[in-house]
Amino acid sequence: MTASSVDDGLNPHGGPIFPRGHALLTNSLLNKGTAFTERERDTMGLRGLLPPRVFTIEEQLHRVYGNFRRKPDALEKYIFLTTLQNRNETLFYKLVQEHAEEMIPIIYTPTVGQACLEYGAIFRQPRGLFISIRERGRVAEILRHWPHPDVRMIVVTDGERILGLGDLGALGMGIPVGKLSLYTACAGLHPCYCLPITLDVGTDNTKLHEDPLYIGLNQKRVRGAEYDAFVQEFVEAVQQTYPKALLQWEDFGNTNAFRLLHQYRHRICSFNDDIQGTASVALAGIMAGLRLAGGHLRDQKLLFFGAGEAGTGIADLHAATVRLEGLSEAEARARCWFVDSQGLVVRSRLGKLAGHKVPYAHDHPFVATLAEAIETVKPTVLIGVSGQARAFNRDIVARMAALNQRPIIFALSNPTSKAECTAEEAYQWTGGRVIYASGSPFPPGTFGGQPYVPGQGNNVYIFPGVGLGALVCEATQITDEMFLTAAKTLASTVTAEDLALGRIYPAISNIREVSIQIAAAVAEEAHRAGLARRPRPADLVEDIRTRMFEPNYRDYV
């Protein structure tokens, strides 16, 4: 983001004083590499430190894109991009913005999952802050070690539930780094406002304890009162050090994610993307999908395979939405059913259910399998959030197709290796009738001579716009109504041309415009609810657009 003056707090450059010489070349936010002009080379002490030819950013882009394409696999491309980001952030974001559909799956899902697994082995340069529980009592001091004093967006994880890969401890830092890269690439948040953080409290992954390259604390996870005191110190330190920052909770385990969200959402401007962002993007997909399938949202019956953060988050937002359409709370919750690792979530299991599942434990006979649940519940929408690859086999998908003319099937588990079924399988097993979305991208295909483009129900469509909208109006809270507004806005951006291809989300190449529309809608909701600290501009969309970071070099002299 940029701004016209320092006074509004949105100008990332506090003055015209810049480092010189080698220090300038090693500052990733300021470095232009071979694009420094002749005058800049003389004035900034760069003469001789660079080869003599001056390149434009377009010429540099041509070079780095060619180097990217020559990398042999996705992980090598990820390493190349992170190295470029650490050297020249403007050029990095120029590359990502120009080739979004190709780059986003590398810097985020699905490749970031493999990168996290390999994070210790591919570690080159630290990015963000690693705050371990051994630093209790010093968290505010550590936050002040970050070189940028006006942080506005923090993505924090404790690494316990990284995508569908489980407890990766400190290796999970790849997620906050990737998410914040998307904030800049997809929503124009200036990178100097972004701070990725890992809270290292240990790991219960015994394989990491035995790994000589593991970068985190080699101990079991700290839990209970000590963990809670550490997190409380962290939140209070953020409020003290970065009072305008928005805090995004990311990839915490189920036991902590729900309670931390409820404990802190009214104390600091914050949200949990796994719960609320996933809910919003899934709801948007259902809304858009019903333009193909027909029917009303309030009449749909949703069956979730997986009853963790993502599934119950989707159910909560869906229930809130259909209540606005006239259903009672009991009727709204009765539209959502869950199958967890033990079977159908029903009232006879109440004594053994986690608290977040209890509202969806219906008075119904217990069945043990997903196939039986489909037969008895007769869902119109099947949503996979289980992390169990290929759980939607031919029999499961065929059962959905037998019940529905246009079955809606979302295989949302990430990364690709954890998807409940592929797009090709879903189309083949339903005779091309499926309305499909996945968490990670699948390639386009054809069925019966007709092309299809699978929708990607990825949170990248939601969280950058929500965060941007909250920041531009300086919201004091992130509410469920904001995520509902974001879902409706996202669904409205799906065009007739998208639907003709079976795509229920817009093309990722349009992501910045989608983020602008969502940001404006979220800011409008914040103003409506009295949660905005900045005055409302006459034209919200134009105000947001003009304040977004664009990856172009600035002049130093």
The string of pLDDT tens digits covering residues 479-512 is 999 999 999 999 999 999 999 999 999 999 999 9
Is residue 394's pLDDT more than 50? yes
| C-beta separation of 379 from 372 below 8 A | no
CA distance 17 to 7: 18
Is residue 10's pLDDT more than 70? no
| C-beta separation of 246 from 270 below 8 A | yes
Number of other residues whose CB lies within 10 A of the CB of residue 199: 23
Q: What domains, with CATH codes, occur in the chain?
A: 60-268 (3.40.50.10380), 276-526 (3.40.50.720)
| Closest-CA residue to 468 (of 133, 170, 189) | 189
Average pLDDT over residues 396-408: 98
Helix (H, G, I), strand (E, B) or coil at 508: helix
The pLDDT confidence band at residue 16, using thresholds 50, 70 and 90, is: low
The kind and range of the H/E element at 336 are strand 336-340
Q: Transcribe 251-315 into DSSP letters.
A: S--HHHHHHHHHHHTTTSSEEEIIIIIHHHHHHHHHHHHHHHH-S-GGG--EEEE--SHHHHHHH
Average pLDDT over residues 134-155: 97
Average pLDDT of the chain is 95
pLDDT at residue 149, as a whole number: 93
Cis peptide before 551 (omega within 30 of 0): no
Q: For residue 542, what are its two tokens?
A: 């134009």
The pLDDT confidence band at residue 101, using thresholds 50, 70 and 90, is: very high
| Closest-CA residue to 468 (of 193, 115, 280, 101) | 193
| Angle (CA) 550 556 557, round 5° | 140
Is residue 393's pLDDT more than 90? yes
pLDDT at residue 420, as a whole number: 98
The pLDDT confidence band at residue 18, using thresholds 50, 70 and 90, is: confident
Is residue 8's pLDDT more than 80? no
CA distance 16 to 37: 17
- In the annotation, is 505 catalytic? no
Name residue, tokens 């001056």. Answer: 54
Name residue, tokens 């209790």. Answer: 136
Q: Which residues of 402-441 are buried (b: 16+ CB within 10 A; e: fewer)?
A: ebbebbbbbbbbbbbbbbbbbbbbbbbbbebbbbbbbbbb
pLDDT at residue 11, as a whole number: 39
Flag whether the pTM goes above 0.75.
Answer: yes
The pLDDT confidence band at residue 56, using thresholds 50, 70 and 90, is: very high
Give the model confidence (pLDDT) of 294-330 as tens digits.
999 999 999 999 999 999 999 999 999 999 999 999 9
Q: For residue 367, what are its two tokens?
A: 């069945």
Name residue, tokens 């989707």. Answer: 314
In 100-255, beta strands by DSSP E = 129-132, 153-157, 194-200, 246-249
Q: For residue 432, what are its two tokens?
A: 């091309």
The pLDDT confidence band at residue 3, using thresholds 50, 70 and 90, is: very low
From 77, 78, 93, 108, the catalytic residue: 108
Distance of CA 547 to the CA centre of its chain: 22
Is residue 9's pLDDT more than 90? no
pLDDT at residue 162, as a whole number: 95
Is residue 5's pLDDT more than 60? no
Average pLDDT over residues 233-240: 98
CA distance 435 to 432: 9
- In the annotation, is 220 catalytic? no
Give the model confidence (pLDDT) of 262-291 as tens digits.
999 999 999 999 999 999 999 999 999 999
Q: For residue 520, what are its two tokens?
A: 């404006």
| Closest-CA residue to 238 (of 313, 309, 146, 345) | 146
| Closest-CA residue to 274 (of 223, 247, 312, 234) | 312
pLDDT at residue 466, as a whole number: 98
From 32, 94, 179, 357, the catalytic residue: 179
Is residue 67's pLDDT more than 80? yes
The pLDDT confidence band at residue 421, using thresholds 50, 70 and 90, is: very high
| C-beta separation of 6 from 14 below 8 A | yes
Q: What percent of the chain has pLDDT over 70?
A: 97
Q: Is 355 exposed, middle or buried (0-12, 13-18, 19+ CB in 10 A)?
A: exposed
pLDDT at residue 7, as a whole number: 32
pLDDT at residue 136, as a whole number: 97
pLDDT at residue 2, as a whole number: 42
Name residue, tokens 């985020």. Answer: 108
